[in-house]
Amino acid sequence: MIIGIPKEIKKDEYRVGIVPSGVRSLVLAGHKVIIEDGAGLGSGISNSEYEFEGAEIVPSAKDVYLRADMIMKVKEPLPSEYDMLREGQILYTYLHLAPAPDLTKALLERKIIAIAYETVQLDDGSLPLLIPMSEIAGRMSIQEGAKYLEREKGGRGILLGGVPGVAPGKVTIIGGGIVGTNAAKMAIGTGATVTILDASLYRLRYLDDIFGGRIRTLMSDSHNIMESIKEADLVIGAVLIPGARAPFLVTRGMLSDMKEGSVIVDVSIDQGGCIETSKPTSHSNPIFVVDGVIHYCVTNMPGAVPRTST
């Protein structure tokens, strides 16, 4: 099989679909690997590193799509790539089709065999290809949220961890899955006061156990969400329904009760977002403000740390 890796063209996306060790494994298994010139540079991987492991470097994405039986990417194809896809070609990438009807239609019309990383499940229901990116996005959500709480960035001027004699900031995390758990780890590490809401009592018991009572756990319902975000300096949207659009758990009406200069990081945005006022943003233009609340809704958060996430 010929396996092709094009350069990512989504705005501010620096990851690449394969690392050199992956090339070696595929070549040893009898496959041919072709990689677009410069595809790995954003992740600090040179053409020569790929060539050393047996890959062929080709001049353009068109060459990759024309020759490859299977395309390996990081993010979904953009409209400019649709016409390069060939009938029967295998596409292996993060697709997030729930909020993307045009992409879904394009894949169906071209009869593409599309495998979405984020929906690959093991027998126990876990999502092995989504988990690493969720871990990164969860940890980044606190890092980015803390930055935009700074006054210079338009935030409340809050240091999440506080200092002796000054109370720490309050973080509310909606969703106690992989993103929410990793966000909690980072938030607790800063010294913030942390609340996690989830619809599963079993999950809340687990979180209470692993964090040793260092967090407050609440059942996720509209009343608890509303009361929690009123108090919060930073709200993390960490809701996932695999393969489906995220539900709106924070409505526009709830937003008016939040503190001016507070921050929302909606990690769920790649599945449509769990905050009604969310809309996709990019790393180069990551925020917007609604009712005095800063919204950070970058759809490819791990793309900012490609050396870690690739």
Mean pLDDT (the chain, rounded): 97
Give mean pLDDT, residues 219-244. Answer: 96
Model pLDDT, residue 115 = 97
* Shared domain check, 209 and 293: yes
Model pLDDT, residue 149 = 98
For residue 99, what are the domain limits?
2-119
CB 82 within 8 A of CB 110: yes
Q: Report residue 244's pLDDT band, with 50, 70 and 90 as the boundaries.
A: confident
Reported for 204-212, long-range contacts at CB under 8 A and 24+ positions apart, including other chains, are 204/176, 207/176, 207/181, 210/181, 211/184
* Shared domain check, 148 and 215: yes
* Shared domain check, 155 and 52: no
Q: Euclidean distance between the first and final Cα of the chain, in Å?
A: 23
CA atoms within 13 A on the CB side of 180: 27
> Over 90: is that where the pLDDT of 243 sits?
no
- DSSP-assigned beta bridge partners for residue 5: 35
> Over 90: is that where the pLDDT of 16 sits?
yes
pLDDT in tens, 163-204: 999 999 999 999 999 999 999 999 999 999 999 999 999 999
Query: 127 in a domain, yes or no?
Result: no
Q: Which residues contact residue 141 at a Cβ distance below 8 angstroms, ignoring those fewer than 6 apart?
A: 179, 183, 186, 236, 238, 265, 267, 301
Pairing of strands 293-296, 287-290: antiparallel
Residue with tokens 């679909």: 17
Query: 95 in a domain, yes or no?
Result: yes
Q: Which two tokens stand for residue 133?
A: 């990116």
pLDDT in tens, 44-56: 999 999 999 999 9
Catalytic site residues?
A: 96, 270
Query: 125 in a domain, yes or no?
Result: no
Query: 253 in a domain, yes or no?
Result: yes
> Over 90: is that where the pLDDT of 277 sits?
yes
Considering the chain, what percentage of its residues have pLDDT values greater than 70? 100
Model pLDDT, residue 78 = 96
Q: Report residue 253's pLDDT band, with 50, 70 and 90 as the boundaries.
A: very high
* Shared domain check, 66 and 185: no
70, 93, 119 - which closes a domain: 119
Query: 160 in a domain, yes or no?
Result: yes
Q: How far apart are CA 183 and CA 278, in angstroms?
A: 19
Q: Report residue 37's pLDDT band, with 50, 70 and 90 as the boundaries.
A: very high
- Whole-structure pTM value: 0.93
* Shared domain check, 241 and 101: no
pLDDT in tens, 107-142: 999 999 999 999 999 999 899 999 999 999 999 999
* Shared domain check, 69 and 212: no
Model pLDDT, residue 63 = 98
Query: 139 in a domain, yes or no?
Result: yes
Model pLDDT, residue 284 = 96
CA atoms within 13 A on the CB side of 132: 12
DSSP 60: -
Total count of residues recorded for the chain: 310
Model pLDDT, residue 99 = 85
* Shared domain check, 197 and 62: no
> Over 90: is that where the pLDDT of 221 sits?
yes
pLDDT in tens, 70-79: 999 999 999 9
Give mean pLDDT, residues 232-251. Answer: 94
Residue with tokens 């960490």: 238
119, 144, 160 - which closes a domain: 119
Provide the domain count of the chain: 2
90, 119, 148 - which closes a domain: 119
* Shared domain check, 291 and 170: yes
- DSSP-assigned beta bridge partners for residue 113: 90
Model pLDDT, residue 81 = 97
Query: 7 in a domain, yes or no?
Result: yes
pLDDT in tens, 210-220: 998 899 999 99
Query: 251 in a domain, yes or no?
Result: yes
Model pLDDT, residue 213 = 86
Q: Report residue 224's pLDDT band, with 50, 70 and 90 as the boundaries.
A: very high
* Shared domain check, 243 and 160: yes
* Shared domain check, 86 and 112: yes
* Shared domain check, 85 and 142: no
CATH number of the domain that 280 lies in? Answer: 3.40.50.720
Q: How far apart are CA 171 and CA 196, in angstroms?
A: 8
> Over 90: is that where the pLDDT of 223 sits?
yes
* Shared domain check, 142 and 110: no
Q: Which residues contact residue 116 at a Cβ distance below 8 angstroms, ignoring those fewer than 6 apart?
A: 93, 94, 95, 96, 97, 243
